[in-house]
Structures are given as structure tokens and as C-alpha cells.
Amino acid sequence: MARDVEARPAVTLAESSLSEMSKNERIKVASRGLFYVDDGKSRHSFLDEVEALEKGEAETLGSTAKELSKFFGVYKQQGRGERGKKTDDYFFMVRIRNPGGGRLSPAQWLAIDDAAEQFADGTVRITSRQAVQYHHVYGPSLAPLIRHLNRSYADRGTLSACGDVNRNVMASPVDGLDPAAKPRLSELAVEIADALAPQSSAYFQVFVSDEEGRNAGPVNPEEPLYGEHYLPRKFKIGIAHPGDNSVDVLTQDIGLVPADADGESFDFYTGGGLGMTHNNPKTAPHLGLYIGRIPRDQIVEACRAIVLLQKTHGERKDRKQARWKYTIRRIGADAVTAALRSVHGIEVEDVPAAPLPPMQLHLGWHEQRGGGHYYGLSVESGRLKGAQRAAVREAVETLGLSVTLTPQQDLILSGVQDRAALEAILDRHGAVRPEQVSTVRANAMACPAKPTCGLAMTDAENILPVWCDAIEEAGLGDTDVVIRVTGCPNNCARPPSAEIGIYGYGKNDHVVLVGGAREGSRLATPLYPRISGEKITEALVGICRAIRDHNPEGLPAGDFLHRTDPDTLRGWVGVEV
């Protein structure tokens, strides 16, 4: 495949040897399908390290095993003190695999809730990709947690939740609930996820056990799709609904938008992603490129084709350049489209893309397709705990409700036949109802960041409520603006596509972006390239005040912030840095 002659030489499977690639690539190859921990000096099984944790013989995983553990939905973490210094407190974050629009049966939700109490810190952390994370999982609990999930939640419950493979396939949370359209997005998301799932049996050897607590699968190191190298980096797919783009399709490696209410064809976007690296101009957030319209029955194969192109042509030395968003811009979108047509037989139709639907929150009461209602609960930064978690559990247990996780880190209870009964449960527990949450707080979300995430430079989840408090105290809580916060420029909570986006820069500095589009069609730009923690609260209050006082046309907040001259806006805000 041809590439731009001005692009720097890339280290790829198509053109390079393993010796030219990064250490991560050598770790993957030496693992023989994620079985072995091989640092070039010694070799043992990944199971050896997991068993040592379970027996209390080791505090954490070694540095090589840490890289393999991500494929199994596990992140090694280390506690950090008040000044950000790492402590001797070692634990793990575990993430579930949950493709299909965040939908969970009552039994699945109860298994997830049980796990939080038995193996983690008693909270259920809803992610911006419609999954669940468990935090503060200590070594002896790691394998028992994952075995519990595989027995009671779902087969392969955490496999490929992280790692250099296709991650959780997102879909609009109202698929199947909305009476106005039935594009069968959840069904398609599961088909894509199954087609792109890793096949090595290492996961089963380590984490799936029989009644005697031992092995549960044949040894099979083969990966028919990914091969021994897997992908150069993580890969993400999201599917919008005709009336809802809460999945933020243009921020995905592949974004799909139904072109009709029945989902018979889809507008196909590819090459999105928001992560970047400070002081590295070769990295940047990018929105997906529109390729064309593709019939539903070819979507799975089109996704598989893009994954194969990324496997072959993706950068494998510099991981900061290894995402598909850089690969497609290096080899050219036209070349990708040509390959879809000529090599993979995909019928890509050259028609204008339909307008993107708006981002929806889905909070409060809504009529449900087929009868009954569904009810959206606002979960602050996705951290379901205390009274709210207890209320959800009782509602699921006693009313038989299903749960759906949203891309905004909220939660939907569906199949409600008795509205008063659900409201009584919520009120009895003292759980906050969505109508009691301010607009600015309901629209906001954050990643976990400090003190658990090793990449975080600043707080996010812990500081966002403080900022919302200040905005509300200033009488601006009803400001209709989307605020998203992360502790580093990996941007897991998607701040670059927000109307106000914030991410960490150093121990006490933040970057403040403004002007993203509510429907996800435009990225925000820097208003404050660096602002200290001491000034950011005042700045956020000032931005919200400017939206209220200087927007006579009543433009959506993102459009108003995008159109306003930055110097003028900073003058209204009244904060200089």
C-alpha cells in the first residue's frame, strides 16, 4: 500500500523486522499467545505470577507481566500520596468486557454488584465506554474476582477489555428502548465484538477454573486474526443511534451512524481518537474521516478489514504514533477506501453523510418500546456507591429491571412497569434523582485520574464535584454546557470533543479547551494552554457566566465558545495566566 512520500519511515509488519520494533512488540511475540512472561533473561508462565499474587507470595505483577495483563482486562496500579508520590500500596484495576450498548440483564448486574463488595472497594465505576471498572483490587483477590465474573457475569468477562486489540464495542444505550427507531445496534455491536475477539486460550488457562479450582481450556496460542503481534495499539468502535450520538462516533477508530431508522446501511467513519502527548507536536486529537456508506451486511467485514490494515501498516516502534488515526493519515484515506473495495469487496457508496445526531443524556422517565418505561439515573463521574448503588440493587432484585450503562457514565433502568415502586425505592434509600441534579453537573464527566491511575498528572473525578459546587454556588448550575475532565492527555473522558474540556498538565496545571460541538463534529481549542489549580475554579465559573451573559442569540454553548474570540472570552472570564 502506498504512503505519503513526505511521511517519516514507519516500522510496520509489512516492512520491518522484530528487532526494529518496540519492547512491547517483543513481549507480545515472546508470550506465545499471552502464555509466557519472557523478558529476554528468564521465562515463566503468566499463571505463575497470578498464583503468586493469590497466595500472597507477591505484592504485584512484574513489569513484563504487567503488559500482558492488560489483554485480560487488568491494569497494575500503585497508590499515590497527597503530593502525587507513589507509595508501597500495590493493587489493580479490573475492567469488564461488555459489548452491545451497555445492556446488562438483572442477573448480570447482581453479579457485577456482588463483585464490588467481595473483591474491590465497594464501588461500581461506570466507564465512558459503557463498561465497569473495579478499583483497589488487591493481589489475592485478582484471580477470584475474574473467575467470579466468568462464572456469574459472562464468558470471557474481562478478555480484551484492555490491551492491543479491539476494545469494548459501544452502541447507543437507547437501542431497543426508543420507540421511534429500531436499528438493532446492540446486535451489530456484539457481532463486531465476536468477530474481532482474541482467540488464544491463555485467558482460560489462567482465569477460568473448574470446580476443583484448576484449568479450564485447551492450550492454543494461535490468533487467527491478530497473529503473534496483535495490533500496534488499542482499537475502538462505536455505533450511534439515529437520534443519539452519545457514543461520540467521530472519536472512535471506527464510527458507524445508521443512515435509516432500521439500520440497513451505515455512514462509515474511521481514524478518530483523542489521545495525545504533551510537547509532542506529532500527536494530536483527530476526528474520524468519512469513507462512505456501507450496507449493514458488510459492516462486520469492513471493520475486520480496517483492523487488518492497521495490523499490517500500523507503527510498531513509536507507540505514540501507533494508533490507527495516524496510520490512515500516513497511508491515505483514499488508499484505505480503495483497499476496502478491491481487496475486501466492500460496497462503499459515495454519498454525502447524513447529519450527526445530538448527544443525549437519557435521564429521567421515557416511554419504552414494547410498553412500560425506562428511567435514567445521573451517576456523578460514573462512581456508583452508597445509597445510589444500594437503591439500584434493590430495584433490580425486586422489580426485575435490566440495567444499561451509558457513554456519559450514567445508568438506565429499563422494563419498569410500576413507576411509583421504583421511585419509592430510590427515595427510601435517599438516592439522588436526576431532577435534583443541576444541568451543569449532569452534563459533566471525568476519568478516575489520581490517586489510582499511574498516568494521571492531576485530579479529575475527585476535583470535578468541587468545580460543579462552585459553578452552582455562583448561580450558574443551569448552564447547559458539557464539561469533561481527565488527569492526563490520554483523554479517556473525551475532553477534546467537549464544549469545555480539561486535562492535566503537570502536578498542578491544566489545559482548558473550549468550543467542541455538542453532536461531536468539532474539536475544542485551547483557551488556557496552562492554568494552575488555584485559578481554574474561577475560570470555569467565568466561562459559564460568559455563556449566560454574552450569548444573546442563545447559541449552544459549544457554538458560542467556538465563535467567540479567545482574547474577548478571556476578558469576560477575568482570569489571566
E strand or H helix at 24: helix 23-30
Using the predicted structure, report yes or no on whether residue 6 has a pLDDT greater than 50.
no
Type of residue at 8: R
Q: Are 177 and 369 in contact (CB under 8 A)?
A: yes
What pLDDT does residue 113 have? Answer: 98
Using DSSP, how many helices (H) and how many strands (E) does the chain show?
17, 22
What pLDDT does residue 213 have? Answer: 52
Residues 6 or more apart in contact with residue 248 via CB below 8 angstroms:
238, 359, 407, 494, 497, 520
Q: Are 25 and 18 in contact (CB under 8 A)?
A: yes
Place of cell 419498569: 416
Mean pLDDT within 174-178? 96
What pLDDT does residue 214 have? Answer: 52
Using the predicted structure, report yes or no on whether residue 186 has a pLDDT greater than 80.
yes
- Catalogue the long-range contacts made by 331-335 (C-beta closer than 8 Å, 24 or more residues apart): 331/1, 331/2, 331/3, 331/4, 332/2, 332/3, 332/4, 333/271, 333/289, 333/291, 335/1, 335/2, 335/3
Domains of the chain and any CATH numbers:
364-439 (3.30.70), 441-573 (3.30.413.10)
- SS3 call for 135: strand
Q: Are 322 and 17 in contact (CB under 8 A)?
A: no
Residue 35 per-residue DSSP state: T
Using the predicted structure, report yes or no on whether residue 5 has a pLDDT greater than 70.
no
Question: b/e for 34-53, b at 16 or more Cβ within 10 A?
Answer: bbbbbeeeeeebbbebbebb
What is the value of pTM for the model shown?
0.96
Express as a percent the part of the chain with pLDDT over 90: 90
Using the predicted structure, report yes or no on whether residue 376 has a pLDDT greater than 60.
yes
- SS3 call for 556: coil
Q: Are 509 and 533 in contact (CB under 8 A)?
A: yes
What pLDDT does residue 3 have? Answer: 44
What is the radius of gyration, based on Cα positions, of the chain?
23
C-alpha cell at 239: 455505533
Q: Where residue 315 falls among pLDDT bands split at 50, 70, 90?
A: very high
Q: Are 174 and 244 in contact (CB under 8 A)?
A: yes
Rounded to whole angstroms, what are the CA distances from 254 to 132, 179, 198, 484?
22, 26, 18, 22
What pLDDT does residue 215 have? Answer: 54
Mean pLDDT within 527-539? 96
